Amino acid sequence: MGESGGIEGGEQRLELESFNRAARFLRSIMDIDELLHAILEEGVQAVRGTRGFIGLVNRATGYLEIRITTGQGWDEQPVRKFLITTEPGHGITTHVAATGEPYVSGDVRRDPHYLMFFPDVRSEITVPLVNRDGRTIGVINVESEVPNAFSQRDLQLLSALANQASIAHSVANYRAREAALIEIGNELASSTDMGELLQKVVQRTRELLRADDCSLFQLNPDGDRLVLRATGELMEHRIGELTYRLGEGLTGWVARHETPARVANVRDDPRWRGLYPALPSETVEAYLGAPVLVRRQLWGVLRVLRRQSGSSIVPNDFTERDEALLCTLARQVGAAITQQTLVDRQLQMERMAAWGEMSARSAHMIGNKVFAIKGQLNELEYLAGRPEFSPDQVRDVVQRAKNTVFSLEEILAEFRDFLLATNLNRKPIDLNELVATTVRENSPRGSLVPIHLDAVPELPTVSADPAKLKRALSELLENAVTHQQEGGEVRVVTGLWGPEQREAYPAVRAPAGGSGPLVRVEVLDRGPGVPEENKQRMFNPFFTTRAKGMGLGLSIVQGIIQAHGGTIAEVGRPGEGAHFVVVLPAVAGVIGH
């Protein structure tokens, strides 16, 4: 605001007032466009112009883009951007954007830089918006129909307003970056999957730093190579493949020295290797990389690249503030990875605990069965040693021993199915055919509990492991039958999963992701149903209301369904029978069509 000191005397009171108004406004307004608009209005009024605009430099394209306008005729003017150049005849404003020097023209028709935009213009005054780094970020332009309309004082006044506009612009940028940083922090903290987390990091960093590419490289376990872990669509196909030796290229340099690197013109830097086939070396302009440390150890490198802008005189490099921002992001990534590793370790421990429980339980159950078999053998030995040997008695004990061995095998099968539930051997299948076969195989003749099938024909194909899916369905059918000892009925329904079902069964959380169709299989019985408190935990391992088996049945079913990318839920009303809903993702198209 040093310029305001140059304005003296009563006749300038009006200008000083308008300047102060703008200053107050600047402090009170949050919206940058509104603020720029106010500054432009004040400027045009203060220098008695007829028309004006604020243009901002787009560094990525090298164009000056009109952001705010005031005065007549703009609606009929379709051109909104100009390539920034110092060549004459391309416009006074692009000249100012290129040189960063203010410009006053009293007679535009004789001005070598003038490019006619509106026929009524005689005078023009243009001042640059310069940011803290001394870069021209835009211009304020005011025109007049009067020749020699603008004085040196007008230039000072407009420059002071331009100064305010660039401060406002910086503040707005700061706010946007701060908000984005907080958002990224929250996103990273809530991320539960490492791959997803890293992908979010590169996407957000690219947006925030307006980069053409952002990639995250991770140090391999041997500590001698950096491997591409996450990136944008340009190099997505090279994830896990593209590597740098430690020390090789700029990224390798950042890793070796654990120091950020900022290079304005990569081809002038001897460290630059440009190994990205998707980003030809000759198009890349600027490089910015920062080390990612996890618990003070080098984890990898986060780096961004910018292409050259369309204008040879508009640099598209990274600033010191960009570097500070990238370093902050790299620190956030490091913290998030630390957090994620801790969570992963926790999950690992929980899995180990589940394994421990699984082993203890199976040992207990197998031990019990073996104990029973020992008893039966003890009896056989006794019977064999008696003088009045009875084959019938022996046969009876042998039968009981066999049954015990069978139940031992059931436990082992359950154990195996639990372990292998997620190990699929997929192929395209006709769901209706699979359901029909399973129903047939589970319907013994003269059963007290008939199973009815109600299938919607021509369902889309499902990519599934038929044996596993049958195993899951059989378990549901078997459950339904066992819960209706006195007789009853089981109904199996197939169909598409659409908005109607979604609304009817809000408890079913349909599979997320993928845009393909969804299909459903429902199993309904007339048994006692599932009490509300068991609806969730009935799918936990070892949950059982029966003495038979290990209580892995439904957790195996859930494991199989989830491995297929599907979901299962029980939606029946307690007391009115159980109602299981299985939703599976399908692939478009019907087998045989």
If 0-12 CB within 10 Å is exposed, 13-18 middle and 19+ buried, where does residue 454 land?
A: exposed
CB 423 within 8 A of CB 449: no
Which one of 234-242, 274-282, 398-406, 452-460 is the stretch in contact with other proteins (CB under 8 A)?
Answer: 398-406
Residue 470: closest CA among 389, 557, 552, 361: 557
Cα–Cα dist 534/538, whole Å: 5
For the record, the structure tokens of 158 come out as 């407009």
CA dist., res. 56 & res. 135, Å (int): 12
| Residues facing residue 297 across a β-bridge | 294
Q: How far is the CB of 556 from other proteins (least distance, A)?
A: 20
Q: Does 372 bind other proteins (CB under 8 A)?
A: yes
User: Interacting stretch for other proteins, rule CB under 8 A, among 233-241, 260-268, 399-407, 418-426?
Assistant: 399-407
**Cβ–Cβ < 8 Å for 274, 256:** no
Extended strands (E) in 75-163: 81-83, 103-105, 123-130, 136-144
> Could you give the CA distance from residue 21 to residue 340 in angstroms, rounded to a whole number?
51
Q: Can you tell me which of 73, 112, 367, 428 binds other proteins, judged by CB under 8 A?
A: 367
Strand 451-455 with 490-496, pairing: parallel
Q: Which is nearer to other proteins, 369 or 579 (CB)?
A: 369
Choice from 182, 352, 354, 363 touching other proteins (CB under 8 A): 363
Q: Does 369 bind other proteins (CB under 8 A)?
A: yes
Instruction: Specify the stretch interacting with other proteins by CB under 8 A; choose among 378-386, 432-440, 464-472, 503-511.
Output: 378-386
- 364 is a site residue for other proteins (CB under 8 A): yes
Stretch that binds other proteins, among 370-378, 417-425, 532-540, 564-572 (CB under 8 A): 370-378
Q: Which residue number, 363 or 507, has a Cβ lying nearer to other proteins?
A: 363
Q: Which of residues 322-361 bind other proteins (CB under 8 A)?
A: 360-361
Q: Does 371 bind other proteins (CB under 8 A)?
A: yes
Distance CA 300, CA 322 (A): 19
382 part of the interface to other proteins, by CB under 8 A? yes
Spatial distance between the Cα atoms of 451 and 474, rounded to a whole number of angstroms? 12
Please pick, from the candidates 547, 588, 592, 593, the single residue that binds other proteins as defined by CB under 8 A: 547
* Closer residue to other proteins in complex, CB, 374/502: 374
- Cα separations in angstroms, 231 against 190, 274, 278, 279, 381: 20, 16, 12, 13, 72
Nearer to other proteins, 366 or 453 (CB): 366
Q: Is 375 in the site for other proteins (CB under 8 A)?
A: yes
* Closest to other proteins by CB, 400 or 491: 400
163 binds other proteins (CB under 8 A): no
Which helix (H) or strand (E) covers residue 51, if one does?
A: strand 51-58
* Residues 221 to 240 in contact with other proteins, rule: CB under 8 A: none
Closest to other proteins by CB, 240 vs 367, is 367
Residue 374 binds other proteins (CB under 8 A): yes
Beta bridge partners of 55: 66, 139
**339 close to 527: Cβ distance less than 8 angstroms:** no
Q: Is 398 in the site for other proteins (CB under 8 A)?
A: no
Q: Which of 210, 238, 262, 400 binds other proteins (CB under 8 A)?
A: 400
* Contacts for 386 with CB less than 8 Å, ≥ 6 apart: none
DSSP E strands in 175-268: the ranges are 213-219, 225-231, 243-245, 261-263
Q: Which of residues 2-41 bind other proteins (CB under 8 A)?
A: none
Beta-carbon contacts of residue 65 (< 8 Å; ≥ 6 apart): 55, 56, 57, 58, 80, 81
- Of the pair 248, 379, the CB lying nearest other proteins is at 379
Local structure of residue 108 (DSSP, 8 states): G
Residue 412 lies near other proteins (rule: CB under 8 A): no
**Alpha carbon 204 to its chain's center:** 9
Report in angstroms how near the CB of residue 542 gets to other proteins at its nearest: 9
Is residue 546 part of the contact set for other proteins (CB under 8 A)? Answer: no
CA distance 258 to 256: 6
Q: Which is nearer to other proteins, 174 or 406 (CB)?
A: 406
Quick one: which segment of 7-15, 212-220, 345-353, 369-377 binds other proteins (CB under 8 A)? 369-377
Closest approach of other proteins to the CB of residue 383, in Å: 10
Residue closer to other proteins by CB (options 174, 389) is 389
For other proteins, give the closer residue by CB, 377 or 419. 377
Q: Which of 218, 231, 319, 376 binds other proteins (CB under 8 A)?
A: 376
According to the binding rule CB under 8 A, does residue 550 interact with other proteins? no
Shortest distance, position 364 Cβ to other proteins, whole Å: 5
Q: How many Å apart are CA 150 and CA 565, to the nearest integer?
A: 71
Interface residue with other proteins among 182, 370, 467, 587 (CB under 8 A) is: 370
Binding flag, residue 311, other proteins (CB under 8 A): no
For other proteins, which is the closer residue by CB, 219 or 365? 365
- Picking from 98, 327, 291, 299, the residue whose alpha carbon sits closest to that of residue 209 is 327
Least Å from the CB of residue 305 to other proteins: 60
Q: Is 404 in the site for other proteins (CB under 8 A)?
A: yes
Give alpha helix (H) positions in 191-316: 194-208, 249-257
Distance in Å, CB of 575 to other proteins, minimum? 23
Partners of 492 in the β-ladder? 453, 523
Q: Does 321 bind other proteins (CB under 8 A)?
A: no
Q: Indicate the residue among 411 and 561 with the shorter CB distance to other proteins.
A: 411
DSSP 316-369: ----HHHHHHHHHHHHHHHHHHHHHHHHHHHHHHHHHHHHHHHHHHHHHHHHHH
Q: Which residue in the set 379, 410, 430, 489 belongs to the binding site for other proteins (CB under 8 A)?
A: 379
Using the CB atoms, write b or e for 250-266: b if 16+ within 10 Å: bbbbbbbeeebbbbbeb
Specify the DSSP class assigned to residue 573.
Answer: P
Distance CA(39)–CA(67), nearest Å, equals 13
Pair 25, 45: CB distance under 8 Å: no
Stretch that binds other proteins, among 30-38, 263-271, 377-385, 425-433 (CB under 8 A): 377-385
Q: Which two tokens stand for residue 391?
A: 């084959």
Q: Judged by CB under 8 A, which stretch of 79-87, 374-382, 433-441, 559-567 contacts other proteins? A: 374-382
Contacting residues toward other proteins, per CB under 8 A: 360-361, 363-364, 367-372, 374-376, 378-379, 382, 400, 403-404, 407, 547
